Structure 1
Amino acid sequence: MSIGLGIVLFVIGAILAFALNLTVDWIDLHLVGYILMAAGAVVVVIGIVLLARRRRTISTSQTSIDPATGSAVRRDESSAPDTTAY
């Protein structure tokens, strides 16, 4: 959702900065467009960082032979890394 919001902010800012040829006395639309484009870029970068951080997991697979039956026993484990150490 944050990546989409960043793209929307960037597009609205680009429209205000480059496509509109309006003059309003109480606000500079070009400056508002540049500010929205910068905010959109920041939101996209933060969204990508959070997305990359969310997908990081640790997967462990262990296969062993049960001595009593002789059959293979497989254990799969998946967990997120411990971030409290940072």
Structure 2
Amino acid sequence: MGYGLGVFLMALGLILAFAVSDVIEGVDLTMVGYILVLAGILIVALTAFQANRGRSASNVTRTTHADGRQTVTEQRNESDPPPAV
């Protein structure tokens, strides 16, 4: 999955919804087109969400002291997105 698949499904769906006037018995091509457009939008959104999640990392450190106490330290690192080309 990726941006390419999402854009492809949106383009195919828009062609079926608005440019095709053929009739297939039992199949509404306009509705199939709208479904493909929605699937393409969902794929693009999920791909963007996954790409954004992968840029953050966290480290958890537990330190046990001599008297038995524990200290927990958490660091979160978020990197900036790569520059647009």
Same fold (TM over 0.5): yes
Q: What is the Cα deviation at residue 10 of structure 1?
A: 0.5
Q: Unpaired segments of 5 or more residues in structure 2?
A: 59-75, 79-85
Aligned residue number for residue 68 of structure 1: none
Letter in 1 for 2:5: L
Q: Deviations over 1:41-78 (max 9, x none)?
A: 001000000011112247xxxxxxxxxxxxxxxxxxxx
Percent of aligned pairs with the same amino acid: 38
Question: For 1:80 and 1:23, how far apart are their aligned partners in 2?
Answer: 55
Question: For 1:16 and 1:46, how far apart are their aligned partners in 2?
Answer: 23
Aligned length in residues: 61
Aligned residue number for residue 19 of structure 1: 19
Letter in 2 for 1:26: G
Q: Unpaired segments of 5 or more residues in structure 1?
A: 59-78, 82-86
Normalised by the length of structure 2, the TM-score is: 0.63
Question: For 2:41 and 2:31, how far apart are their aligned partners in 1?
Answer: 15
Q: What is the Cα deviation at residue 3 of structure 1?
A: 1.4
Aligned residue number for residue 31 of structure 1: 31
Normalised by the length of structure 1, the TM-score is: 0.63
Question: For 1:56 and 1:3, how far apart are their aligned partners in 2?
Answer: 21
Computing the radius of gyration from Cα coordinates, the structure with the larger value is 1
